[in-house]
Structure 1
Amino acid sequence: MGTKYGFGKTVVSSFEAAIEKVTQELQKEGFGVLTDIDVAATLKKKLNQDMPPYRILGACNPPLAHRALEAEPSIGLLLPCNVVVRQDDAGKVQVEFMDPNAVLDLVAKPEINRLASEVRQKLERVLQAL
């Protein structure tokens, strides 16, 4: 499993066990989980839409983040590192990591470019409202 912007694999465990294991392994490498977004719960609450379990963990290694911020203060736009733990429609648990090297390249997919353009417009409106 891999994309131009991430890499990962299918794990043989329950969804909750995968969350726990990923968190523990991140800690071993100096990462803490700053954010834990339960996408499935949010979509259920806000849109009454069901989907398999899907969580986005925002992982941060403080010493590395500090060095990055000193070198480039705007790098915070790309932080923290996202880790996705999700259950697919077949019930398999996927763990995916944002590829830090992706900041050096663009995602070469037209649908992503269109989405990026929409997001840019929204951000420009936010900026104009400030």
Structure 2
Amino acid sequence: MALYFTRLALLVFLVLGASAATAQAQREHYDRVAPADKQFADVVLDLEQAIGDENFAIVGRNDIGDAVRRRGHADFPDAVIVQFCNLEYARRVIEIDPSYMLYMPCRVVAFEQDGRVHAASLLLPTATECAPFNELATTINAAIRRIVDFAVVPLVPSK
């Protein structure tokens, strides 16, 4: 009986430990909401402009909302994923540790929820065991935040 409880305790310890490790591995989410009068298309255009302004290149785009609507869900809200990369940052990441390519390319999303447009991204982890990666990730995360923030600024009223 004691062996049973020892094994059970070990199993609980392993499960809880795995859950804690998974929680630590989760990346930080950065989400901002556009002003109520800013349309989805304007947020996406501003994301794309900000990506270029931050010296990243767009390497892919997935219009999920449109694809779902074409599959018969006419009321599905707008949602798009834009992938982007800076080749100098990519080179540096690969030189630090090629396994960190798993965080590439960077992605930003725009989506409609509850009548508002959101712009969001996952940030790179900055608390890994690799200090050079953490430093570069901090720089990249700052650019990602600027990209998202730019996309949700109010439209300039015309005069």
Determine if contact 1:7/1:99 at 8 Å carries over to the other structure.
yes
Q: Work out whether residues 27 and 122 of structure 2, in 8 Å CA contact, stay in contact via their aligned partners in 1.
A: no
Q: What's the counterpart of residue 105 of structure 2?
A: 80
Matching residue within 31, 43, 48 for 1:8: 31
Residue identity matched to 2:31: G
Matched with 1:64 is 89
Count of residues in correspondence between the two structures: 100
Task: Flag the structure with higher strand content.
Answer: 1
Residues 1:38 and 2:63 aligned together: yes
Aligned to 2:47: 22
- Displacement of 1:48: 2.7
**Higher-Rg member (1/2):** 2
The 3-state SS of whatever aligns with 2:125 is: helix
Partner Cα distance (1:10, 1:91) in 2: 11
Aligned-residue RMSD, C-alpha = 2.1
Call closer, same or farther: CA 1:6–1:103 in 2, change over 3 Å: farther
TM-score normalized with structure 1 length: 0.67
1:42-94 CA distance string (max 9 Å, x none): 2234x533420000111211110111012222322221111010111x22100
Contact in 2 for aligned 1:85/1:96 (Cα 8 Å) = yes
For the 8 Å contact 1:23–1:32, the answer to whether it is kept is no
* Cα distance in structure 2, aligned partners of 1:43 and 1:70: 39
Unaligned runs of 5+ in 1: 105-130
Q: Do the aligned partners of residues 103 and 32 (structure 1) sit closer, same or farther apart at CA in structure 2, a change above 3 Å counting?
A: farther
Percent identity among equivalent residues?
A: 22
d(CA) in 1 for partners of 2:127, 2:83 = 16
Q: Please tell me whether the aligned partners of residues 4 and 102 of structure 1 are also in contact (alpha carbons under 8 angstroms).
A: no
Cα distance change, pair 43–75 in 1 and its aligned pair in 2 (3 A): same
Change (3 A) 1:103 1:83: farther
Which residue of structure 1 aligns with residue 142 of structure 2?
Answer: none
